[in-house]
Structure 1
Amino acid sequence: MSLLPPFESKNSLRSLDDCMKVLPAAITCGNKRIRPKRALNEFVQLDLLTPRLDKIYRYLWLAGEPTPARPLHRQRLLRREIVVTQNPDEHLVEDRAVIFIKPLPEYLLSFEFWITHLSSDRNLHQSACGLLLSYVWIVAYHDDMRIAQETHLLPKSVDWAAWKDFVEDFLEHVGASTPPHVSKRYNYGELWLRHLNVIYKFSPSTFSVGNLHDSFLNGPMWYGFFIERNLTRLFAIFAFLSLGLSAMQVGQATPELRDSAQFSRASYGFSVATLFLILFSVLGVILAWTVPRGFRLLARRWLKRRLTGIS
């Protein structure tokens, strides 16, 4: 059965021709190159579906709240930098002072495009409705529109009055909440990256040795965070241990404790335990950093041999 667009044709903000003109010439997905105008359905699926989040959906309550995302002016108020991502899985994922937001594809503003390319696939239709709904959340005020256009999330040609009419029409069709015809991912607004990383590492549906290192969102910028998080915690522990050792050293200098056999044994045990703790902590960080990378390297070599037929 054909699915209808979530707005009337009179409120369409883009024509089909305009949408086709702004599509990228080519994109790369893994080792595959896709040319959207020649493989439009495949491109739209990559542009809208959230397969990685769908795999761990039952655990998303650990990574976010079932509430709408905050408007863009609130994100600025919270001192969050808006970083553009084209991956729908990363849309509205936040990490510290950063929130990732996917620009709204202009074709979702075209009634003709919905009829032509989004009316026959229910999953695609639900994901498209969900992404539009997320923009209803984050572009709620005129200031949000200004921020969205400054950060290239919305085209500058869309004016506030037309956007309001579009949103009102959309909400008449879809509703302000997340009904069944909206992708289940959008039952949640903002998602916390650190929690997603833990879920993705240990969820039965996504667990692998490689994920112990890669997690949900992997890249060079997160390696520094890995070291920073672990070493900062270790330095805090070492600081407390150093205070304890210093206090014991002061105690050994006092007449009352200098000749105490029990205090001497306690100081000796604490000192030895501290040395072992430091040693094991450093080894633990090194192993946590190198072992998963080693497994990934071996797995890649094994896969390469399988693909090339090398024994």
Structure 2
Amino acid sequence: MTVPFLKQNELCHVLSVNDCGIFSDIKQEDERTQYLPGDPRIQLTDPNIGSHLQAEFVTEDLNKMAPHLWLMSTQSSKNISPLTEQIVRGRRLIVTENPGLHLVWIHDRVFLKPLPEYLFSYAFWEYYLVSSHSPIEVLVSQRLLKAMSGFLRSCLYLIQHKSDFLLATGDDLQLIPKSISYAQFVNFMNNCLVEDSSTSARYQFGELRLTRLNFWCKIFLSKSSYHRVEWQYGAHFAQYYGPLLFIFALFSLLTSAMQVSLAAQDMLQSDESWLTFAKVSRGFSVFTIFFVACTAAALLVVLVQMILQGFVFAVAHFISRNQ
């Protein structure tokens, strides 16, 4: 495993490595100012730096679900729409520091994790993740190297054009440091090569739909949900109002039509003055029952067809990828 870019292409030149370890080139009297560029919370000599980085980048649950993610998304690391395309699809760009939510979307929003400045530093990758002198345990550094390589590559897919870059460096998102110019970023992107074999299992997939994650995690993770969308009881139950009202209206219409049909049958046998009206009422009630049944069946067929199409596509893509 190696650094995913060359030293000559690094965009963060603050860190350096010598025989004594890693240090910041910014001259400061206080040793406490020796921290990772862009993240003052993590000191360069912090003995728990491995744990900090794992919390920032390792996606434990998604890695566990990785063998089954083909059921939830196209099995391609390139299945990532640029920022401008995300907006075209009606999605709001929501910043998150949770690595497990990066590139996860639901309805009208997609979650994105910013790129910290130190990921553009060659010295950071070389010392902490590749070097035999790293203070991080070998197995942990290998996990981090794969997770961070995949994360870095995913962010590069998000920024394909200058319009994407302007969005990424805007005050609302700040996905990448403002100190980086568009020309520098393009050069970095063109020279950053990361293969699927060099990434964690999660980053061999692109965008993931949260509704599917919430469904399948009950089976594969034995959890009630992957991530809760609504935190208020009212908002949580409100999402069921539409389907419940539709079902209630459907059965209410059916039972009303049945009652009319039965009442019309009684009128046909007892009162000849209402014979024509009774026949029309019975005919209309039968038509209503038939129409409602056909509508419900059609909606069910469409739903099953959509599910089968997605499943067949996923299976076909999975087989073609593994041949």
Q: Give the structure-2-normalised TM-score.
A: 0.68
Separation in structure 1 between the aligned mates of residue 96 and residue 84 of structure 2, nearest angstrom: 19
Quick one: structure 1 residues 223 and 84, their matched pair in 2 at CA, closer, same or farther if it must change by over 3 Å? Answer: farther
Separation in structure 2 between the aligned mates of residue 110 and residue 136 of structure 1, nearest angstrom: 16
Contact 2:143 2:200 in 1 (8 A): yes
Contact 2:37 2:118 in 1 (8 A): no
Amino acid across the alignment from 2:210: L
Separation in structure 2 between the aligned mates of residue 219 and residue 131 of structure 1, nearest angstrom: 23
Separation in structure 2 between the aligned mates of residue 59 and residue 227 of structure 1, nearest angstrom: 29
Amino acid across the alignment from 2:69: L
Deviation, structure 1 residue 91: 0.7
**Number of corresponding residues:** 241
Separation in structure 2 between the aligned mates of residue 254 and residue 36 of structure 1, nearest angstrom: 85
In the alignment, which residue of structure 2 is the partner of 1:42? 51
Quick one: structure 1 residues 105 and 21, their matched pair in 2 at CA, closer, same or farther if it must change by over 3 Å? Answer: closer
SS of residue in 1 equivalent to 2:11: coil
Identity of counterpart residues, as a percentage?
32
Moved over 4 A (4+): 222-225, 255-260
In the alignment, which residue of structure 2 is the partner of 1:13? 11
Question: 2:163 matched to 1:143?
Answer: yes
Separation in structure 2 between the aligned mates of residue 52 and residue 111 of structure 1, nearest angstrom: 29
**Structural mapping, 1:182-193, within 5 Å:** 182-193=199-210
Quick one: structure 1 residues 58 and 222, their matched pair in 2 at CA, closer, same or farther if it must change by over 3 Å? Answer: farther
Q: Which runs of 5+ in 2 are unaligned?
A: 16-23, 27-34, 132-140, 271-281, 290-323
1:247 is aligned, of 253, 257, 274, to 257
In the alignment, which residue of structure 2 is the partner of 1:279? none
Quick one: structure 1 residues 222 and 118, their matched pair in 2 at CA, closer, same or farther if it must change by over 3 Å? Answer: farther
Amino acid across the alignment from 1:181: S
In the alignment, which residue of structure 2 is the partner of 1:154? 176
Separation in structure 2 between the aligned mates of residue 222 and residue 183 of structure 1, nearest angstrom: 34
In the alignment, which residue of structure 2 is the partner of 1:70? 81
Q: Give the structure-1-normalised TM-score.
A: 0.70
Larger displacement relative to structure 2 (221-230 or 130-139): 221-230
Q: Which runs of 5+ in 1 are unaligned?
A: 27-34, 271-311
Contact 1:70 1:137 in 2 (8 A): yes
Contact 1:4 1:119 in 2 (8 A): yes
Separation in structure 2 between the aligned mates of residue 245 and residue 84 of structure 1, nearest angstrom: 49
Contact 1:23 1:36 in 2 (8 A): no
> C-alpha root-mean-square deviation of aligned residues, in Å?
2.7
1:181 is aligned, of 190, 198, 204, to 198
Separation in structure 2 between the aligned mates of residue 226 and residue 240 of structure 1, nearest angstrom: 23
Quick one: structure 1 residues 37 and 21, their matched pair in 2 at CA, closer, same or farther if it must change by over 3 Å? Answer: farther
Larger displacement relative to structure 2 (99-108 or 225-234): 225-234
Deviation string, structure 1 residues 13-37 (Cα, Å, up to 9, x no partner):
11224872421538xxxxxxxx886
In the alignment, which residue of structure 2 is the partner of 1:124? 144
**Structural mapping, 1:161-310, within 5 Å:** 161-171=183-193, 174=194, 178-203=195-220, 206-207=221-222, 211-212=223-224, 215-218=225-228, 220-221=230-231, 226-254=236-264
Quick one: structure 1 residues 90 and 224, their matched pair in 2 at CA, closer, same or farther if it must change by over 3 Å? Answer: farther
Amino acid across the alignment from 1:236: F
Work out which of the two has the higher radius of gyration on C-alpha atoms and give 1 or 2. Answer: 2
Contact 2:69 2:75 in 1 (8 A): no
Contact 2:10 2:122 in 1 (8 A): yes
Amino acid across the alignment from 1:20: L
